Amino acid sequence: MPDRDPLASPYRPPQGLEALEDALRRDLDILSYPARSWVPPRSTPDGRSILDVLVIGGGQSGLGAAFGLMRERVTNLLVLDDGKDGFHGPWKTFARMITLRTPKYLTGPDYNIPHLSFRAWYEAQHGAEGFQQVALIPKELWADYLLWYRRVLGIPVKCGTKAGALRWRADLDCFEVPAAHNREAEFLLARKVVLATGIDGSGRWDAPPEVQPLPRALWAHTHDPIDFDALKGKRIGVLGAGASAFDNASVALEAGAGQVDLFYRRKKLPNVNPYRWAEFAGFLRHHGDLPDAQRWRFIRQIIEMGQLPPRDTFERARRHPHFHLHAESPWVEVKQQDGQAVVRTPHATHTFDFLIIASGFTTDLSLRPELAELHPHIALWKDRFTPPENERHADLLRHPYLGPSFEFQEKQPGSAPWLGGVFNYTFGCLLSLGFGGASISGMKYSLPRLVGGITKQLYLDDSERHFRALADYATTEFET
């Protein structure tokens, strides 16, 4: 009887995290070529160290960027995150869904290393059958996976540290970045900077002007901390029809809100998800290779189709009898009256105890504190492309016009060539490069693109030093 083909044997995942980490270390050892560090160190005339790369943002994008660089032997780097340790990204703060919205079998931060994947991490603790029973990844588990990812890979992260305005130091040929930690400030120096600041990293969360004059005790944006227990028995108005609107409505109802009314402009809710269409290698890898007119056409179409609430998110809210939808109901006027919020739509007037704003974010680099000194020099899409009149979109025109590796480009060529050393790995890359920063589904292709762009710059910047090292190289292979 012939021996069984070992490649046909059922896969048995490592049991327990310790066994998984041993397997992962072996993977990394096998894949370690070339192993030596290669970026020449730099320092100031008075001996201050200059980082090769500073990553601002310690969520999934920042951690993935840092590990990708470490794999390429760029090790003189640091990740800053303004959240407290264990609360990187939105997953344990303002993300109020139950699960991720992306499929559980996606890969990305793992760089195609199976033992670094979420699936391997989960199976090591719950078995292969346990993973098969998971429909979508619970958001808290994704956050725990990212903490494990950071620990097992030894990524240097400084938590509770907020980066200030980047400034180019021509005298030092690097960026100077103020970093505030526990009320103490320091100035970091870095040759390259990666902005991995999330979905609002190229602007800010937005609330309509009709709402902003109200006292903040009467309203909150979905990204704000909200005391849902305090809403028990009260009537809540929600503006917006995206996933976060339904998430927050559900949490309010689950906390005992007396009634929740959700308002949106469209005639009916979108029920087709263009983001599911986009999950194929052609779009995810090559959107950035299209001509400008095509890039504009694709992304505008995705936005016009709308971001729907996933089915489970929709049903989570609809199962409550005190949840009501209001179509074609923009808020025309909002005012305070007797300690409540009064909302007028084209159809009726409503009175609420509290408002939750789910109107998303606006793209505007001038609103980002870390870009306070840089944004006047940064090229935007409106500086490079004029869409047909019937395809204009104000927010898209404010998107940064990025280079092929997420790098900023100059508004006026030759005026600020150092801008290319800042890489915008945020959701603001959508128009230029598709699903990149802040999008798990695009990380498989976007992270290598980002890392390759940074290592390319580091090598080209030091090409003369590398040539001198080559010319001085004298290690003999044999005696003559």
Cα 270 to Cα 305: distance, rounded to the nearest angstrom: 7
Beta bridge partners of 163: 179
Task: Report residue 407 CA to chain centroid gap.
Answer: 16
Closest C-alpha among 115, 105, 181, 195 to residue 148: 115
At 9 the pLDDT is 56
Beta bridge partners of 354: 236
Task: Report residue 363 CA to chain centroid gap.
Answer: 14
At 5 the pLDDT is 55
Cα 249 to Cα 469: distance, rounded to the nearest angstrom: 62
Q: Which helix (H) or strand (E) holds 52?
A: strand 49-56
Inter-residue contact 116 to 13 (CB < 8 Å): no
Beta bridge partners of 422: 193
Neighbours of 480 (CB within 10 A): 4
> Inter-axis angle of helices 17-30 and 139-153, to 10 degrees?
50
Inter-residue contact 236 to 257 (CB < 8 Å): yes
> Inter-axis angle of helices 118-133 and 17-30, to 10 degrees?
130
Contacts of 161 (CB under 8 A, 6+ apart): 80, 81, 82, 179, 180, 181
Cα 305 to Cα 312: distance, rounded to the nearest angstrom: 20
- Phi and psi at residue 232, in whole multiples of 5°? -60, 130
At 437 the pLDDT is 81
pLDDT in tens, 305-350: 988 888 999 999 999 999 999 999 999 999 999 999 999 999 999 9
Q: Angle at the Cα of 186 (from 408 to 405), degrees rounded to 5? A: 15
All structural domains of the chain: 8-202+363-466 (3.50.50.60), 207-271+308-359 (3.50.50.60)
At 236 the pLDDT is 98
At 148 the pLDDT is 98
At 1 the pLDDT is 45
Cα 184 to Cα 312: distance, rounded to the nearest angstrom: 45
**What is the mean pLDDT, run by run of 10 residues, along the chain of 480 residues?**
53 84 97 95 97 97 98 98 90 92 92 97 95 94 97 97 97 97 90 96 94 96 96 98 96 98 94 92 97 98 89 94 97 96 97 96 96 98 97 97 98 96 97 92 96 98 97 93
Cα 198 to Cα 425: distance, rounded to the nearest angstrom: 8
Inter-residue contact 222 to 244 (CB < 8 Å): yes
Cα 106 to Cα 440: distance, rounded to the nearest angstrom: 8
At 14 the pLDDT is 79
Six token digits for residue 364: 């505007």
At 4 the pLDDT is 53
Cα 309 to Cα 290: distance, rounded to the nearest angstrom: 29
Cα 252 to Cα 276: distance, rounded to the nearest angstrom: 28
Closest C-alpha among 51, 44, 40 to residue 158: 51
> Would you give the end-to-end CA distance of the chain in angstroms?
57
At 449 the pLDDT is 98
